[in-house]
Amino acid sequence: MINVDEHFGVNAGKVWDALSKHGALSAGRICEVAELEDRDVRAALGWLGREGKIRIEKDQNHFMYSLA
Protein backbone atom coordinates (compact mmCIF):
# COMPACT_ATOMS: atom_id res chain seq x y z
CA MET A 1 0.00 0.00 0.00
CA ILE A 2 1.21 3.51 -0.83
CA ASN A 3 1.53 6.03 1.98
CA VAL A 4 -0.66 8.88 0.72
CA ASP A 5 1.11 11.67 2.60
CA GLU A 6 4.50 10.44 1.48
CA HIS A 7 3.45 9.96 -2.17
CA PHE A 8 1.81 13.37 -2.55
CA GLY A 9 4.39 15.08 -0.38
CA VAL A 10 7.30 13.80 -2.47
CA ASN A 11 5.61 14.90 -5.70
CA ALA A 12 4.74 18.28 -4.18
CA GLY A 13 8.43 18.66 -3.36
CA LYS A 14 9.38 17.93 -6.96
CA VAL A 15 6.87 20.49 -8.23
CA TRP A 16 8.06 23.05 -5.67
CA ASP A 17 11.67 22.47 -6.80
CA ALA A 18 10.69 22.93 -10.46
CA LEU A 19 8.92 26.22 -9.70
CA SER A 20 11.78 27.38 -7.51
CA LYS A 21 14.36 26.77 -10.25
CA HIS A 22 12.34 27.88 -13.29
CA GLY A 23 9.80 30.42 -12.07
CA ALA A 24 6.23 30.41 -13.37
CA LEU A 25 5.37 27.31 -15.42
CA SER A 26 2.31 25.72 -16.98
CA ALA A 27 1.20 22.31 -15.72
CA GLY A 28 2.51 20.72 -18.92
CA ARG A 29 5.92 22.27 -18.49
CA ILE A 30 6.00 21.23 -14.82
CA CYS A 31 5.43 17.64 -16.01
CA GLU A 32 8.52 17.88 -18.20
CA VAL A 33 10.77 19.61 -15.67
CA ALA A 34 9.71 17.54 -12.64
CA GLU A 35 9.49 14.31 -14.69
CA LEU A 36 6.00 13.52 -13.38
CA GLU A 37 2.77 12.40 -15.00
CA ASP A 38 0.04 15.02 -15.48
CA ARG A 39 -2.19 13.50 -12.77
CA ASP A 40 0.68 13.58 -10.27
CA VAL A 41 1.51 17.22 -11.08
CA ARG A 42 -2.12 18.28 -10.67
CA ALA A 43 -2.41 16.43 -7.35
CA ALA A 44 0.83 18.05 -6.16
CA LEU A 45 -0.43 21.48 -7.22
CA GLY A 46 -3.57 20.86 -5.17
CA TRP A 47 -1.43 19.87 -2.19
CA LEU A 48 0.70 23.01 -2.52
CA GLY A 49 -2.40 25.13 -3.07
CA ARG A 50 -3.99 23.91 0.16
CA GLU A 51 -0.77 24.85 1.95
CA GLY A 52 -0.87 28.34 0.38
CA LYS A 53 2.48 27.83 -1.34
CA ILE A 54 1.55 28.61 -4.95
CA ARG A 55 -0.01 31.38 -7.01
CA ILE A 56 -2.08 30.78 -10.13
CA GLU A 57 -2.35 33.27 -12.98
CA LYS A 58 -3.93 32.91 -16.39
CA ASP A 59 -1.57 33.70 -19.26
CA GLN A 60 -3.51 33.75 -22.55
CA ASN A 61 -4.86 30.17 -22.71
CA HIS A 62 -2.82 28.58 -19.93
CA PHE A 63 -2.76 28.67 -16.18
CA MET A 64 0.69 29.55 -14.91
CA TYR A 65 1.84 28.34 -11.51
CA SER A 66 4.49 30.01 -9.37
CA LEU A 67 5.58 30.00 -5.74
CA ALA A 68 3.70 32.27 -3.36
- pLDDT, tens digit, 9 for 90 and up, residues 21-61: 999 999 999 999 999 999 999 999 999 999 999 999 998 88
pLDDT of residue 33: 98
Q: Is the pLDDT of residue 7 over 90?
A: no
Q: Which fold has domain 4-67?
A: Arc Repressor Mutant, subunit A (1.10.10)
Residues 6+ apart with CB under 8 A from 9: 47
pLDDT of residue 19: 98
Which of the two residues, 8 and 18, has the higher pLDDT score?
18
Distances (CA, A) of 68 to 19, 24, 49, 57, 61: 10, 10, 9, 11, 21
pLDDT of residue 24: 97
pLDDT of residue 5: 80
